[in-house]
Structure 1
């Protein structure tokens, strides 16, 4: 395991090396204090330029690179707004497309209004918006999903500056969970809807989305959806409060040279069609699954294990985007970045929801104290069963799980047992990883 997610310190983003030229281009447009936090959110908008493209996941299923939802969580005035500028640059082609589509709609509406009551009205033009407004209504969201499905299965991209906007888009807070599930799993909208013009369709939801909110808003909004799969389907990027250094952060200039270079990458994504198998990325996903199982055993935390499964899928999809942007070539640096994305997502969830995941309900500060804990690291290098039992009880874990945990740790090679002394000793392999 490369990172420790049980501390208050965020896993440090690895060096942006070979094959990561897209991030070398984009990240300098952000202030230095926000580069690590916003980096995971850039792929949702980038991937919305891909259509008619699938990648094989290690479970042998084919996945489109949609259903990507990433939330940025930091304090008010913490720098979340920098994402908007970068997204607008990434989505410039979509903006131009949407402006032409809107003009078609405006002209149609003018024609409809100019016709008398007894005159035949013109048929509404087929229009689809790739980058709809954040305050979209549920009816417009579904209607546009239908249009995008007809438009070669194009992905809608949304950037929600407030998490509450999801209620309006989904048709109410009770529908948010189902919509997120359908978006993540690329399912249909879920129900036919009756309108004045008849019954609408039930389109496949191809959507990517970024959501911005404060820690308190995130906890309040998702409080009732912690254990139904909603939390796992969203990747989170959390930034804790920093020092008051009294300096105004510097951002990029977004000049013509930058935009021209960015457009080269967008064209590469738009041109990507067909099916791909990225073996090094799939091997990494398998390795991460094994690492997450080991981490869950060290912490004896089933919730962490459940969350990690979708964290791997979320990071894997972003790895697929990197693969295409790098000319369909994989590098070690790309793998290190994808691995970091998994740990950073889990660390972020820990910091925001840790206590709630243990059925508590306190402050963010308490959440940061209540996440998964590596119990083996809190024991001496040589210890006995009673010490682990006492530690488990102090963490509100059942006493009768002690023997099983010792068996798991032994089987994984974390510890060895001396039948003569009855003591357990941490192995050199474990100590090497832990250090």
Structure 2
């Protein structure tokens, strides 16, 4: 495992080498302090440009780069607003499409008004918006999903500068959980209703979402959805508070040269159609699944294990997008980014919600921001069962789980046992490679 997510500092992003040129291009327009927080946010926006392509996950299911959701979290005034500038740059073609669609409505409205009361009114045109406004209501969101489905199943993309805006799209905060899960899992809306005009539709929800929030707003928003699957489906990118250096961050200039390069990458996303199996990406996903199981066993943390499963799927989808952007070829640098995305998401979740996941207080201090604790690291190289039991009690875990944890560590070859001494010892494999 290359990253330690128990620390207060974020896992350092790997160098953006061969195959990640599009990400480097986008980051060139943002201040340096926002590079790492913004990278996980880019993939839902870019993924919305892919329509008609599916990729096989290691479990043999086929997935689209839709249902991708990410939440940027940072203190007020930490430069989160730079993300919206990137979104507008990436979605220029979406804006042009939507303006043409809205002109259809304007023209239809004029025709309706010009007809006398006894004349037949023209039918309302079917309008499909690719980049709906952030204050889109639930009925409008469902209606738009129906129109997009009728036009071949395009993904709609929404960017919400405040996390509370999602309430309106979902029909209220009580509906957040069901709606976000349906979006992530590409389920139908469940909105079949009888009306005066007939029966409304029940479209498959193809949408990608990005949201922004302060730590307080994020904790308040997700507090009641930490254990029902909603929380795990959302990718979090947390920017921790930094020192007061008194410098105003510099953003880039969106020049014609920048847009020309960006449009070349976006064209690769737009033309990608069909079914694909990215074997090196799937091999990496299998390896990361093993790493996540090991990490959860070292910390004896079921919540971490549950969150890691969907963190891996989200990072895998990001890998699919990188593959398309790189002319459908794979590189080691792309794999490094995918691996980092998994740990960045889990680190962010634990930094923001560790105390709530432990069902503690409603407020968060620096001392409460704790990631999963690798208990084996806190034990001497040789130790007995009583020492692990005492450590578990100190960390608020049960004594009864001690034997089970030792069995898992033995199975994963983290430790060996000597019947002569009654001691457990860390293996050479663990000491030299388990913490990499």
TM-score of the aligned structures, taking structure 1 as reference length: 0.98
Aligned: 1:337 with 2:345:
no
Q: How does 1:256-335 map to 2 (within 5 A)?
A: 256-335=256-335
- 1:231: which partner in 2? 231
- Does the 8 A contact of 1:73 with 1:237 survive in 2? yes
Q: Deviations over 1:162-194 (max 9, x none)?
A: 111111001111111111011000011012134
Q: How does 1:37-56 map to 2 (within 5 A)?
A: 37-56=37-56
- Does the 8 A contact of 1:236 with 1:345 survive in 2? yes
Task: Supply the distance in 2 between the matched residues of 1:375 and 1:392 (Cα, whole angstroms).
Answer: 8
Structure 1 stretch 375-384 or stretch 237-246: which is displaced more?
Answer: 375-384
- Does the 8 A contact of 1:8 with 1:368 survive in 2? no
Displacement, 1:365? 2.3
Q: How does 1:19-168 map to 2 (within 5 A)?
A: 19-168=19-168
Structure 1 stretch 376-385 or stretch 235-244: which is displaced more?
Answer: 376-385
- 2:424: which partner in 1? 424
Task: Supply the distance in 2 between the matched residues of 1:358 and 1:113 (Cα, whole angstroms).
Answer: 60
Task: Supply the distance in 2 between the matched residues of 1:374 and 1:59 (Cα, whole angstroms).
Answer: 29
- Does the 8 A contact of 1:158 with 1:210 survive in 2? yes
- Does the 8 A contact of 2:41 with 2:70 survive in 1? yes
TM-aligned CA distance change 1:140 to 1:196, over 3 Å: farther
TM-aligned CA distance change 1:367 to 1:232, over 3 Å: farther
Q: Deviations over 1:71-128 (max 9, x none)?
A: 0000011111000000100000000000000111111112222223222111111211
Task: Supply the distance in 1 between the matched residues of 2:198 and 2:105 (Cα, whole angstroms).
Answer: 20
Aligned: 1:378 with 2:365:
no
Q: Runs in 1 of length 4+ with deviation above 6 angstroms?
A: none
Task: Supply the distance in 2 between the matched residues of 1:352 and 1:163 (Cα, whole angstroms).
Answer: 15
Task: Supply the distance in 2 between the matched residues of 1:240 and 1:416 (Cα, whole angstroms).
Answer: 39
Displacement, 1:197? 3.3
Q: Deviations over 1:188-220 (max 9, x none)?
A: 101213455333101110000100000100100
Aligned: 1:251 with 2:261:
no
Q: Deviations over 1:235-264 (max 9, x none)?
A: 000011001110010111010000011001
* 1:166 partner SS: helix
Indicate the RMSD between aligned Cα atoms, in angstroms.
Answer: 1.1
- Does the 8 A contact of 1:415 with 1:426 survive in 2? yes
- Does the 8 A contact of 1:352 with 1:367 survive in 2? no
- Does the 8 A contact of 2:67 with 2:206 survive in 1? yes
- Does the 8 A contact of 2:170 with 2:179 survive in 1? yes
- Does the 8 A contact of 1:351 with 1:367 survive in 2? no
- Does the 8 A contact of 2:352 with 2:369 survive in 1? no
- Does the 8 A contact of 1:356 with 1:367 survive in 2? no
List gaps (5 residues or longer) in structure 1: none
- Does the 8 A contact of 1:355 with 1:371 survive in 2? no
- Does the 8 A contact of 1:355 with 1:366 survive in 2? no
- 1:360: which partner in 2? 360
Displacement, 1:40? 0.7
Task: Supply the distance in 2 between the matched residues of 1:371 and 1:37 (Cα, whole angstroms).
Answer: 18
Task: Supply the distance in 2 between the matched residues of 1:284 and 1:175 (Cα, whole angstroms).
Answer: 35
List gaps (5 residues or longer) in structure 2: none
- Does the 8 A contact of 1:351 with 1:364 survive in 2? no
- Does the 8 A contact of 1:353 with 1:367 survive in 2? no
* 2:118 partner SS: coil
- 1:184: which partner in 2? 184
Displacement, 1:370? 4.2
- Does the 8 A contact of 2:191 with 2:200 survive in 1? no
Q: Deviations over 1:46-68 (max 9, x none)?
A: 11111111000000011111000
Q: Deviations over 1:301-352 (max 9, x none)?
A: 0110010000000000000000011001000000010000000000000000
- 1:434: which partner in 2? 435
Q: Count how many residue pairs are aligned between Structure 1 and Structure 2.
A: 435
Task: Supply the distance in 2 between the matched residues of 1:333 and 1:342 (Cα, whole angstroms).
Answer: 15
- Does the 8 A contact of 1:355 with 1:367 survive in 2? no
TM-score of the aligned structures, taking structure 2 as reference length: 0.98
* 1:183 partner SS: helix
Structure 1 stretch 353-362 or stretch 312-321: which is displaced more?
Answer: 353-362
Q: Deviations over 1:388-431 (max 9, x none)?
A: 00010111111011011111111111111111111111112112
Task: Supply the distance in 2 between the matched residues of 1:188 and 1:367 (Cα, whole angstroms).
Answer: 42
Task: Supply the distance in 2 between the matched residues of 1:333 and 1:371 (Cα, whole angstroms).
Answer: 26
